[in-house]
């Protein structure tokens, strides 16, 4: 009887094979694939499988994660060739008859296993001045109409996970391009009616490595785990540059 009840309430579990891209700068070896057979539940995400590997099979596996619930943007990785958040990707949604391939996001230098150097990405973000620039003192609320807010609401959702920027083939070439994430965050302030430095940001992005390198391949829009229409935002910034104002 007891076993029957257990089976009724049990979440189905199955075994999947994960191929994880391993790299250790200290062992002098090239990056390589290592496979793990992991017993997972139907409710598990790729992050849970990685945890299982790290906690029960190989403690040396290195990856970033913080909130583990799709908000902090730490665990963007390339899963089966697509940039996604490991904490938002259910294993059952992938093709589990095949192995699951997990590798670091492309275009940024790998430091260890799935951890990349995010500094060039953050530098591009800093370069577009991601803060409100206003001349008046913040003594009272800066009011804004719902219509004005709607202009940039989509781009406020960015969590800086770098999934978009590292899915961009132009960014892969030399890493000099500002990248979708920086442009999205510039968009967030350029189209904010309370901000007064749109021209400054427009000038920054009207650069050799700015918005004009965008080739509208839509990789960024597909990669964004927050569903931001990234390519549309970039196009709106291009329009703003042509107009010279938001």
Partner 1 sequence: MSVVIEQPRSPRSRKAANWEKYGWMYMRASGAILVILIFGHLFTNLWVGEGIHAIDFAFVGGKWSNPFWQVWDGLMLWLALIHGTNGMRTIVNDYTSREGVRKALTFALWGICAVLIVLGTLVIFTFDPCPANGLAANLPSFCPAR
* CA dist., res. 236 & res. 109, Å (int): 30
Q: Is 17 in the site for partner 1 (CB under 8 A)?
A: no
Among the listed residues 16, 168, 238, 246, the single contact to partner 1 using CB under 8 A: 238
Among the listed residues 173, 217, 218, 239, the single contact to partner 1 using CB under 8 A: 173
Interface segment toward partner 1; rule CB under 8 A; list 7-15, 45-53, 144-152, 168-176: 168-176
- Among residues 50 and 241, whose Cβ is nearest to partner 1? 241
Among the listed residues 109, 212, 217, 239, the single contact to partner 1 using CB under 8 A: 212
- Among residues 79 and 214, whose Cβ is nearest to partner 1? 214
Q: Is 218 in the site for partner 1 (CB under 8 A)?
A: no
- Among residues 115 and 235, whose Cβ is nearest to partner 1? 235
Among the listed residues 204, 222, 229, 232, the single contact to partner 1 using CB under 8 A: 204
Tell which positions 180-199 bind partner 1, by CB under 8 A.
197
Shortest approach of partner 1 to residue 175 CB, angstroms? Answer: 11
Interface segment toward partner 1; rule CB under 8 A; list 97-105, 181-189, 210-218, 222-230: 210-218
Tell which positions 127-146 bind partner 1, by CB under 8 A.
129
- Structure tokens that stand for 197 in this block: 């430095």
- Structure tokens that stand for 110 in this block: 């790998």
134 near 142, Cβ under 8 Å?
yes
Task: Please enumerate, as own/partner, the contacts of 79-84 that have beta carbons within 8 Å and a separation of 24 or more.
Answer: 79/46, 82/167, 82/222, 82/223, 83/163, 83/164, 83/166, 83/167, 83/223, 84/46, 84/163, 84/223, 84/225
Residue that is written with structure tokens 């849970």 in the block = 48
Task: Please enumerate, as own/partner, the contacts of 202-207 that have beta carbons within 8 Å and a separation of 24 or more.
Answer: 202/237, 202/240, 202/241, 202/244, 202/245, 202/246, 204/127, 204/128, 204/129, 205/128, 205/178, 205/237, 205/241, 206/241, 207/178
Q: Which residues contact 10 (CB under 8 A, 6 or more apart)?
A: none
Secondary structure letter of residue 56 according to DSSP? I
Q: Is 200 in the site for partner 1 (CB under 8 A)?
A: yes
- Among residues 119 and 173, whose Cβ is nearest to partner 1? 173
Among the listed residues 106, 115, 206, 229, the single contact to partner 1 using CB under 8 A: 206
* CA dist., res. 229 & res. 109, Å (int): 27
Contact footprint for partner 1 (CB under 8 A): 129, 170, 173-174, 197, 200, 203-204, 206-208, 210, 212-213, 215, 238, 241-242
């Amino acid at each position: 009887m007891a076993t029957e009840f257990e089976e009724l309430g049990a979440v189905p579990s199955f075994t999947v094979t994960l191929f994880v891209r391993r790299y250790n700068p200290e062992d002098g070896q090239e990056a390589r694939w290592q496979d793990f057979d992991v017993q997972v539940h139907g409710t598990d995400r790729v992050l849970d499988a990685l945890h299982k590997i790290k906690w029960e099979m190989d403690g040396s596996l290195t990856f970033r994660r913080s909130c583990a619930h799709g908000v902090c943007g730490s665990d963007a990785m390339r899963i089966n060739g697509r940039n996604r958040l490991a904490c938002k990707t259910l294993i059952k949604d992938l093709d589990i008859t095949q192995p699951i391939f997990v590798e670091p996001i492309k275009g940024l230098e790998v430091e260890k296993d799935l951890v990349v150097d995010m500094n060039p990405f953050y530098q591009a973000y800093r370069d577009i001045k991601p803060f409100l620039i206003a001349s008046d003192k913040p003594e009272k609320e800066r009011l804004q109409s719902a219509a004005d807010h709607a202009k940039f609401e989509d781009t406020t959702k960015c969590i800086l996970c770098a999934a978009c920027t590292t899915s961009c083939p132009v960014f892969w070439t030399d890493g000099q391009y500002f990248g979708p994430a920086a442009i999205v965050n510039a968009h967030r302030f350029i189209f904010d009616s309370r901000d007064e430095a749109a021209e400054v940001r427009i000038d920054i992005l009207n650069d050799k490595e700015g918005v004009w390198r965008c080739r509208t391949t839509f990789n960024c829009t597909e990669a964004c785990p927050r569903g931001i229409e990234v390519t549309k935002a970039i196009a709106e910034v291009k329009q703003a540059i042509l107009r010279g104002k938001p």
